[in-house]
Amino acid sequence: MDRIRIRGGKILNGDIQISGAKNAALPLMIASLLTGKTLTLRNVPRLADVNLLLRILRNHGVDMTVDGKRAGEDGSLGETIHLSAATIADTTAPYELVSRMRASFWVLGPLLARCGEAKVSLPGGCAIGTRPVDLHLMALEQLGGKIDIEAGYVVAKAPNGLKGNRVVFPKVSVGATHNALMASTLAKGETIIENAAQEPEIGDVAACLVKMGAKISGIGSSTLHVEGVDELKGADHSVLADRIETGTYAMAAAITGGEVTLKGARADHLDSMIAALRQAGVRIDVTQSAMRISRNGNRLYPINIETMPYPGFPTDLQAQMMALMTMADGVSTIRETIFENRFMHVQELARLGAEISLSGDTAHVKGVHKLTGAQVMATDLRASVSLVIAALAAEGETVLHRVYHLDRGFERLEAKLQGCGASVERLAAA
């Protein structure tokens, strides 16, 4: 397995181009199942999760082509993919594929809505928590789906099509909102989705569905109104900028000091993180198409944050913020309210010299004056990148093992950091 070696202590200066958002690209690709026409997606990040989802979609019968390089392109702006599900050849998403990526479970709603049946493996637990799917199933049942669980599979049927209804989520779920929204575009009549997740990635998918002919209002709010249509058409859509990647590089720049411009960043999707970083003493200048992060020798102040559904502080930036706070002047409190087991980075950060104590869902991070390089292990996507952030500030050499976690969600991570002066290199598996 590949490893990444980081020699810490280099100040970051330069520009980083922000990629398309993984968590928008995946549901956008799944939306191709809703139509027989071609969906063109631009700015799709080159990620292991994207490749795995392409395999899953191919298994359902989706044809795909990827544009080659065009004159003047340097490969920094993602790929253009054309997806065409003229006929759905197979409505089963098998365990071998779904168990490797939870988001693939989201094919359930679109397949059921378009084909009247779907059989999708239960995704199972994962490193950050149990992650049930009860809300997905509840929503599809409310839209008239008949759901059974058989031998580890969700078997869903709606032979006469789905019917619009009021879907009230008792708890905010990004994935269940995606599933309900996509399914309801082809349901008969009106669907109202209440307590919907408001993450910008849902807005991006909704905007694409509208281009495909869906009738959706309330986009960006917690109540979505959908008037079902008989069929959707093709569309051309560019994936929005990744706010989690943006936040990650903002924290990398903040921990090393220096000045980094995040090109293409959507600061308007990061209010809670920007407020937290400013409170910590980091300077952030926002322009229409970029964010500049700078810290020039001044101290880092401790902060208190709690993860919350959007527009609250994102759970997907919790580990990175914790890494930054290991170097603050004082004690920070970080509470994780979304996933019950999303603190696996704590032990690994401790290997670099961080002082963190855990009590239930809360971590107390006592800032230290220096971190020291060590061998560390990636446990999940965001946890691994928090170790990269800490390693950039640590004295000496850090080697990060199990890099495949990073490759699931960060496009050209080493190249982007190297471009700002970091000493980061991939050591290929022996």
| Count of residues in contact with ligand EPU, rule CB under 6 A | 24
Q: Which of 115, 126, 208, 420 is catalytic?
A: 126
Minimum distance, C-beta of residue 131 to ligand EPU, in the bound complex (Å) = 4
Q: Of the candidates 171, 215, 299, 370, which one interacts with ligand EPU according to CB under 6 A?
A: 171
Token digits of residue 356: 């963190």
- Tell me the C-alpha to C-alpha distance, in Å, between residue 107 and each of 17, 61, 81, 136, 211: 30, 13, 18, 11, 20
Given a contact cutoff of 8 angstroms between Cβ atoms, the answer to whether 389 and 399 are in contact is no
Q: Of the candidates 174, 207, 321, 394, which one interacts with ligand EPU according to CB under 6 A?
A: 174
Q: Which part of the chain contacts ligand EPU (CB under 6 A), choosing from 167-175, 186-194, 269-277, 286-294?
A: 167-175
Token digits of residue 221: 């709010």
Measured from each CB, the residue nearest to ligand EPU is 175
185 vs 315 by CB, closer to ligand EPU? 315
| 311 lines the binding site for ligand EPU (CB under 6 A) | no
| 26 lines the binding site for ligand EPU (CB under 6 A) | yes
Q: For residue 384, is it left (φ>0), alpha (ψ between -120 and 50) or beta?
A: alpha
Peptide linkage before 311 cis (omega within 30 of 0): yes
Task: Find, among 308, 326, 328, the residue nearest to 316 by Cα.
Answer: 308
Q: Of the candidates 30, 103, 325, 378, which one interacts with ligand EPU according to CB under 6 A?
A: 103
23 vs 256 by CB, closer to ligand EPU? 23
Minimum distance, C-beta of residue 311 to ligand EPU, in the bound complex (Å) = 12
| 316 lines the binding site for ligand EPU (CB under 6 A) | yes
| 381 lines the binding site for ligand EPU (CB under 6 A) | yes
134 vs 236 by CB, closer to ligand EPU? 134
Given a contact cutoff of 8 angstroms between Cβ atoms, the answer to whether 177 and 222 are in contact is no
| 382 lines the binding site for ligand EPU (CB under 6 A) | yes
Q: Is 115 a catalytic residue?
A: no
Contact residues for 415 (Cβ-Cβ < 8 A; gap 6+): none
| 315 lines the binding site for ligand EPU (CB under 6 A) | yes
Length of the chain: 430
Q: Of the candidates 17, 19, 23, 142, which one interacts with ligand EPU according to CB under 6 A?
A: 23
Residue ranges in 334-353 that form contacts with ligand EPU under rule CB under 6 A: 338-339
CA angle 38, 39, 44 (to 5 degrees): 140
Residue ranges in 112-141 that form contacts with ligand EPU under rule CB under 6 A: 129, 131-136
Binding site for ligand EPU (CB under 6 A): 23, 26, 102-103, 129, 131-136, 171, 173-176, 197, 315-316, 338-339, 381-382, 409
By annotation, the residues acting in catalysis are 126
